């Protein structure tokens, strides 16, 4: 009888552990949505919209703590978002987006940040990756000049 109780309790804890890991973190989900806004604004070549979106990303990142996200990653995200928000032109906004994307890809791989599939996309011309909600390529590194350049490299489910 004891053996069955122990086995049962172990099974319950295992299920609870898996369930806890599969839940989307609402704070990181909001950060991801802010990231998508930055990516979309860059892809549409909209300097002002990119500044505003990066400012929102920075606000969300600033509300997180080291329990939600590793401090090194959090500081990198805040730094890159601030650089994007205060940049003087779209080209200057795109440069820190490389690193912002690298860190966000790492965050997405380590945490559940979306209920939907996240697509990791890559542009060989820009030599940079980014995250997307959809398979369709909308390149944030070149905007309208090479909007469709790139491919899906992986999926995060």
Q: Where do the domains of the chain lie?
A: 24-156
pLDDT of 44 reads 98
DSSP string, 137-152: ---TTTGGGGTT--EE
Backbone φ and ψ for 10, nearest 5 degrees, come out as -60, -45
Q: At 130, is the secondary structure helix, strand, or coil?
A: strand
The answer on pLDDT for 111 being more than 60 is yes
pLDDT band at 2 (very low <50, low <70, confident <90, very high): low
Percentage of residues of the chain with pLDDT beyond 90: 82
Q: At 127, is the secondary structure helix, strand, or coil?
A: coil
Q: Distance between CA 29 and CA 35 in Å, rounded?
A: 10
pTM: 0.85
Span 121-131, average pLDDT: 97
Span 101-127, average pLDDT: 97
């Amino acid at each position: 009888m004891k053996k069955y109780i122990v086995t049962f309790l172990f099974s319950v804890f295992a299920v609870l552990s898996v369930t806890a890991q599969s839940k989307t973190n609402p704070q990181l989900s909001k950060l991801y949505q802010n990231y998508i806004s930055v990516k979309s604004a860059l892809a549409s070549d909209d300097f002002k919209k990119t500044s505003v979106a990066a400012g929102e990303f920075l606000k969300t990142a600033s509300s997180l703590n080291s329990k939600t996200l590793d401090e090194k990653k959090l500081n990198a995200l805040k730094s890159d978002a601030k650089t994007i928000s205060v940049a003087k032109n779209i080209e200057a906004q795109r440069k820190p987006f490389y690193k912002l994307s690298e860190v966000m890809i790492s965050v997405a791989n380590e945490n559940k940040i979306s209920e939907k599939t996240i697509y990791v996309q890559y542009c060989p011309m820009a030599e940079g990756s980014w995250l997307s909600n959809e398979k369709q390529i909308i390149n944030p590194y070149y905007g309208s000049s090479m909007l469709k350049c790139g491919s899906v490299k992986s999926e995060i489910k």
